[in-house]
Amino acid sequence: MTFDVAGLRAQAEQWLADDPDLMTSSELSRLLSELPGSAAELADRFAGPLTFGTAGLRGPLRAGPNGMNLAVVRGAAAGLVRWLAAKGAGGPLVIGYDARHGSKAFAEETARVATGAGRQALLLPGPLPTPVLAFAVRALGAAAGVMVTASHNPPQDNGYKVYLGAEIGGPAGAGAQLVSPADAEIEAEIRAVGPLSDVHLGPAGETLGDEIVADYVRAAAGVVDPDAPRELAVAYTPMHGVGGTVLQRAFSAAGFAEPSVVEAQAEPDPDFPTVAFPNPEEPGAMDLVLALAAETGADIVIANDPDADRCAVAIPTPSGWRMLRGDEVGVLLADHLMRRGVRGRYATTIVSSSMLRALAEQRGAGYGETLTGFKWIVRAGEDLAYGYEEALGYCVAPALVRDKDGITAALLVAELAAGLRTELRTLGDRLDELAAEFGCYVTDQLSVRVDDLSEIAAAMTRLRAKPPVTLLDEPVTIEDLLPDADVVIVRGAGLRVVVRPSGTEPKLKAYLEVVEPVHDGDVTASRERASASLTALRTEMAAALGIW
């Protein structure tokens, strides 16, 4: 491939002249000095700016417009505060951050941009979970909130998420992630910022005290029934993230014993040294906490992802520990809340198990189904009582945190498990009971990570051009959600497949579901049939997509 070296040099020099960060400007100067050998690297960094979407910004930490760095953050913050002013939104900007490389500096830069524009900036008191920021936006009557995090992305990434206050977000969107058209409007304001040297920077803003964290912990502990059993042994990992201390405080406040914690993963570490990817869903990520559970004789395993907005659960079985799928935990928690008498709408997404619909219909509860992402789930209705997505995200108290929250979800899992324990039953037993009542809804996922995003587009094009006619020897129908969403849904008798690009990672995902009825109460036989069908469905869809 040939590159316009002179054009790349001009772009880099122009960026360099406006870069406020000595570290990234030095990095860019080095690449300039290595031209033409560094042309491919520079071309990637200047391939285009990170786009401010409904998930905010997310990308690798590096110099240039196609990365996360102080210059990009200053521009994003300036665009955001201009947009808030144009909307006439009153109140402070609340800013949180995790323990990733650059997070604190990005948060402080955002605060200085906000105060420079005349808006009060409130910084959370240290690296904290994303749910604490979402809580603070509502609790403090903020115009908006910013959370600097890349959640469960690799260590070289960082990100910038925006939450709306009640004035702009409305009743269903107060404290929730932004949705369109706000993302496009903020993006337009960012592009209109001009030279970064012209952005006025004010003082560092006000750093809040521990009271906001204590308020969150107290409110989180309130999701648990005060009269429910508390005896439970939990093995836990925050996976080198920021959830550990807050979760332990919440467990203590709710009356549970503090969990046993994986020592090697207990403290925040932006390099995530013990895992290949800091995501509980990734192979090997749960190995250390499962070993701790076996060593301590724990009743259940709980894990948070690095910013603690997700919650993973594993249970003991006769053949060893088994991690529950997000759909299994999602249905368990929904059933638990319904049986506790929590009324309102129970919502999930088009890629999650369809079992929640069956559960809601049988229990007489409201049901909502949305596009993928919590920004949509929490807007399923003002009467939202509970929402979940299969990717280990659960909103168990929408009035508290209008987003997925791995801390309150962990508390509710513990309440359910402790209650079952007093009856000599387990989470696995409850899943069997639900399967006997509703059938076996078995889900899985095909997921491929790519280096070239064009591979994902090509696979989606192939699927649309030549969709399968049958799957598992059953005729299927095809539903294409374009132009509203890049999603293809394949349905047949007792099966469903949803194919979409990931919104946060360079992955193509196919969500598989097989439903098998249970005959004569034989759940084991039904699961075996469903598992065999799921294996076959995986093979057939891999061939249809032509990317695996």
Q: Calculate the alpha carbon distances from 251 to 63, 431, 505 in Å.
A: 41, 24, 32
Tell me the sheet residues that pair with 471: 474
Beta-carbon contacts of 328 under 8 Å, excluding residues fewer than 6 positions away, are 431
Q: Counting beta carbons within 10 angstroms of the beta carbon of residue 322, is it exposed (0 to 12), middle (13 to 18) or buried (19 or more)?
A: middle
For 194: left if phi > 0, alpha if psi spans -120 to 50, otherwise beta; the answer is left
Task: Identify whether 151 is a catalytic site residue.
Answer: yes
CA 223 – CA 135 distance, rounded (Å): 14
The end-to-end CA distance of the chain, in Å, is 27
Residues 6 or more apart whose CB falls under 8 angstroms from that of 33 comprise: none
Closest among 97, 139, 93, 85 to 120, alpha carbons compared: 93
Contact 265, 237 (CB under 8 A): yes
Helix, strand or coil, per DSSP, at residue 76: helix
Token couple for 85: 């002013």
Whether 310 and 131 have beta carbons less than 8 Å apart is answered as no
Give the single-character DSSP code of 263. G
Cβ atoms 163, 341 nearer than 8 A: no
- Residue count (the chain): 548
The amino acid at 529: R
The count of C-alpha atoms lying within 13 angstroms of the C-alpha of 359, restricted to the half-sphere facing its C-beta, is 28
Query: Catalytic: which of 38, 103, 151, 533?
Result: 151
Residue 117's closest CA among 145, 85, 146? 85
CA 251 – CA 211 distance, rounded (Å): 18
Q: Which residues are catalytic?
A: 151
